């Protein structure tokens, strides 16, 4: 096989550190397994644009103009022509909940529910097709969509779910509605004491409403057990969903250790169509370190990245931690979901085990505290390439913005949240605090590394929608056509970089992923239009035409475009080709 020889040669070149020096097309002896024509944004600052890319095996072998690359085409070469569209490095999603996304794709969908009636109807329809006793978990409801924004109550759904325990999450995952059957199984009732780091919402009479926030969800969640078959099916659904949206790699954060097996099984069966980096709950850092000692960190398909913790809750659930009270609920400044001492000990332990530490912080105070803990642990343990990450970094005091670059902390952010939360964030935190909210521009200007993601299933997984959000900051309600907090907009190329190289750096893979250059892994996407040449508001209509991972075409739009669509509209999926 001639391309096996090419592959071997490339591997040798890569080992010798020479592959990245090759900038022209391969020599006349070279052939390509795959050639992609189009306007190629390489992400490589030395050579940002090309007219075509050639792939041998799982690796980019050459970039050049279309004539140069055409010389590598042989009868057996697969050719994809993208016309005027854009070709970019594959999108990497720096923060999502992948199997939860897979579960949710097959669960009740409450995201479109515009009020109590629709909420109940959707739950009733789904429950009527379940076996008695089967758990109903999922939902992704958003009470900010409902008139008067009341929180749901278990009485809404008890009569339509008499035979099934139910736990329905708000789309941010920071609160959920349990029905009475689920509360009974968890032995929760009016005499249940408050749970540190969480909120049990009660009626004035003291009875539980069924809404549980953050740590208070634990007693119910502990009862939900998934089988390996359910996990494998969820992973398969999630991979198909991701491939159709151009996601070639992702960081699955807060992944339970029990889900590692699903990734390993798919890795062995060669059914992965995206590369996974896994971040397990930080409180289990010892087990994670033991696992790494036993089986190693993995490879570019399944990589044990490290551990993930939580400092606070979310803005939508009024549990993000601030220095000052909420405008619309002065009784609270948010919730510190993990005591500072525990967090310091866990981060310190995980860091000494050389695990990468990534921690959720949304409110200003959560971010300020976390940056200080990162700082003190790094000082105590000495210089190391540790790449701490703040997940969300949503609301920052101005003084904390430069600390990201100073401390070498990555800002792992999800731009779609900005155009979603932007509808109502000011009501929660007032006109001053919103000025440094989702501060993409300020963080970049102060030298921080931005890594973008979706937080799927909290938000749609579509990277194109994330780019649209970061570049336009137009809120979903259409009320900010010139952008919400417009001074924090960034350019298309900056957003592309945050979705590619930013995330490669975020998982220590920047020497082989995140840009299109000879010797880099051939993960790339074909987009139907050039995002850098259209008005920013049109990015929302862009679509993925094909997704390539490790040189293999894992998704191709058939029978017309796959459109992005708002989260309320189902989009036409075509499953990827069988491997």
Order of strands across the sheet that contains 175-178: 136-141, 166-170, 175-178, 208-214, 198-202
For Zn ion, the nearest residue by Cβ is: 455
Cα–Cα dist 579/570, whole Å: 26
Nearer to Zn ion, 156 or 388 (CB): 388
Residue with tokens 């299933």: 457
Residue with tokens 């990555």: 410
Shortest CB 51 distance to Zn ion, Å: 38
Shortest CB 419 distance to Zn ion, Å: 17
Shortest CB 213 distance to Zn ion, Å: 15
Shortest CB 455 distance to Zn ion, Å: 4
Cα–Cα dist 113/258, whole Å: 32
Nearer to Zn ion, 426 or 455 (CB): 455
Size of the site for Zn ion (CB under 5 A): 1
Shortest CB 504 distance to Zn ion, Å: 20
Cα–Cα dist 460/457, whole Å: 6
Nearer to Zn ion, 392 or 545 (CB): 392
Nearer to Zn ion, 215 or 455 (CB): 455
Shortest CB 414 distance to Zn ion, Å: 8
Nearer to Zn ion, 232 or 455 (CB): 455
CB 372, CB 416: distance < 8 Å: no
Q: Where in 400-459 is the site for Zn ion (CB under 5 A)?
A: 455
* Residues 322-341, mask of contacts with Zn ion (x by CB under 5 A): --------------------
Cα–Cα dist 212/198, whole Å: 7
Cα–Cα dist 10/3, whole Å: 10
Shortest CB 508 distance to Zn ion, Å: 21
Shortest CB 95 distance to Zn ion, Å: 6
Cα–Cα dist 110/162, whole Å: 19
Nearer to Zn ion, 250 or 555 (CB): 250
- CA dihedral for 362, 365, 367, 369, sign (positive or negative): negative
Nearer to Zn ion, 62 or 413 (CB): 413
Cα–Cα dist 228/216, whole Å: 26
Task: Assess whether the previous peptide bond of 457 is cis (omega < 30° from 0).
Answer: yes
Q: Which residues lie closer than 8 Å to 56 by C-beta, 6 or more apart?
A: 3, 6, 7, 10, 26, 30, 31, 32, 33, 551
3-class DSSP assignment, residue 466: helix
Nearer to Zn ion, 252 or 515 (CB): 252
Cα–Cα dist 178/167, whole Å: 4
Nearer to Zn ion, 499 or 520 (CB): 499
Nearer to Zn ion, 351 or 455 (CB): 455
Nearer to Zn ion, 38 or 305 (CB): 305
Shortest CB 360 distance to Zn ion, Å: 7
Cα–Cα dist 76/374, whole Å: 52
Q: Which residues lie closer than 8 Å to 290 by C-beta, 6 or more apart?
A: none
Cα–Cα dist 405/449, whole Å: 7
Shortest CB 12 distance to Zn ion, Å: 41
Cα–Cα dist 247/239, whole Å: 9
Shortest CB 576 distance to Zn ion, Å: 25
Shortest CB 249 distance to Zn ion, Å: 17
> How many residues comprise the chain?
579
Q: Where in 448-507 is the site for Zn ion (CB under 5 A)?
A: 455
Nearer to Zn ion, 421 or 455 (CB): 455
**Strand ranges for 498-560 from DSSP E:** 524-527, 544-549, 552-556
CB 180, CB 210: distance < 8 Å: yes
Cα–Cα dist 169/265, whole Å: 28
Binding site for Zn ion (CB under 5 A): 455
């Amino acid at each position: 096989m001639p391309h096996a020889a090419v592959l071997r040669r490339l591997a040798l070149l890569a080992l010798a550190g020479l592959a990245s020096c090759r900038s022209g097309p391969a020599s006349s002896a070279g052939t390509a397994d795959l050639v992609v024509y189009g306007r190629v944004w390489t992400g490589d600052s030395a050579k940002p644009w090309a007219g075509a890319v050639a792939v041998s095996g799982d690796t980019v072998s050459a970039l050049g103009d279309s004539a140069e690359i055409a010389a590598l085409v042989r009868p057996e070469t697969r050719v994809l022509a993208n016309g005027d569209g854009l070709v970019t490095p594959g999108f990497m999603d720096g923060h999502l909940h992948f199997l939860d996304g897979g579960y949710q794709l097959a669960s009740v969908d409450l995201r479109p529910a515009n009020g109590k009636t629709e909420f109940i109807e959707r739950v009733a329809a789904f429950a009527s097709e379940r076996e008695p006793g089967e758990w109903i978990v999922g939902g992704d409801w958003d009470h900010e969509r409902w008139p008067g924004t009341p929180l749901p109550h278990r009485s809404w759904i008890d009569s339509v779910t008499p035979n099934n325990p139910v736990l329905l999450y708000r789309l941010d995952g920071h609160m959920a509605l349990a029905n009475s059957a689920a509360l009974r199984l968890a032995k929760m009732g009016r005499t249940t004491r408050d749970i540190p780091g969480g909120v049990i919402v009660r009626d004035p009479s003291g009875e539980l409403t069924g809404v549980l926030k953050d740590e208070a969800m634990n007693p119910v969640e502990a009862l939900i057990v998934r089988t390996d078959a359910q996990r494998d099916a969820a992973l398969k659904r999630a991979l198909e969903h991701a491939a159709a949206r151009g996601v070639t790699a992702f960081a699955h954060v807060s992944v339970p250790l029990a889900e590692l097996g699903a990734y390993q099984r798919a890795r062995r069966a060669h059914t992965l169509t995206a590369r996974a980096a896994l971040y397990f709950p930080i409180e289990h850092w010892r087990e994670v370190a033991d696992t790494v000692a036993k089986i190693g960190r993995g490879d570019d398909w399944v990589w044990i990245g490290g551990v993930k913790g939580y400092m606070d809750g979310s803005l939508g659930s009024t549990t993000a931690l601030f220095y000052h009270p909420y405008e619309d609920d002065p009784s609270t400044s948010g919730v510190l979901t993990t005591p500072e001492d525990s967090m310091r000990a866990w981060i310190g332990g995980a860091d000494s085990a050389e695990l990468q530490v990534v921690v959720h912080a949304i409110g200003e105070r959560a971010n300020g505290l976390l940056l200080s803990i990162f700082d003190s642990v790094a000082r105590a343990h000495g210089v190391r390439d540790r790449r701490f990450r703040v997940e969300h970094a949503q609301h920052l005091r101005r003084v904390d913005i430069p600390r990201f670059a100073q401390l070498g902390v990555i800002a792992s952010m999800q731009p779609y949240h900005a155009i979603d939360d932007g509808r109502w964030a000011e009501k929660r935190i007032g006109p001053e605090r919103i000025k440094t909210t989702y501060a993409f521009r300020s963080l970049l200007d102060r030298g921080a590394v931005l890594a973008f993601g979706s937080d799927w299933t909290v938000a749609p997984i579509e990277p194109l929608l994330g780019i649209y959000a970061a570049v336009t900051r137009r809120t979903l309600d259409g009320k900010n056509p010139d952008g919400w907090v417009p001074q924090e907009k960034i350019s298309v190329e900056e957003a592309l970089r945050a979705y590619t190289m930013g995330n490669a750096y975020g998982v220590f893979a920047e020497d082989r992923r995140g840009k299109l250059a000879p010797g880099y892994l051939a993960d790339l996407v074909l987009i139907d239009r050039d995002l850098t040449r259209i008005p920013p508001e049109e990015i929302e209509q862009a679509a993925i035409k094909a997704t390539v991972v490790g040189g293999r075409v894992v998704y191709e739009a058939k029978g017309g475009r796959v459109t992005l669509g708002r989260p309320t509209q189902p989009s036409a999926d075509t499953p990827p080709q069988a491997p």
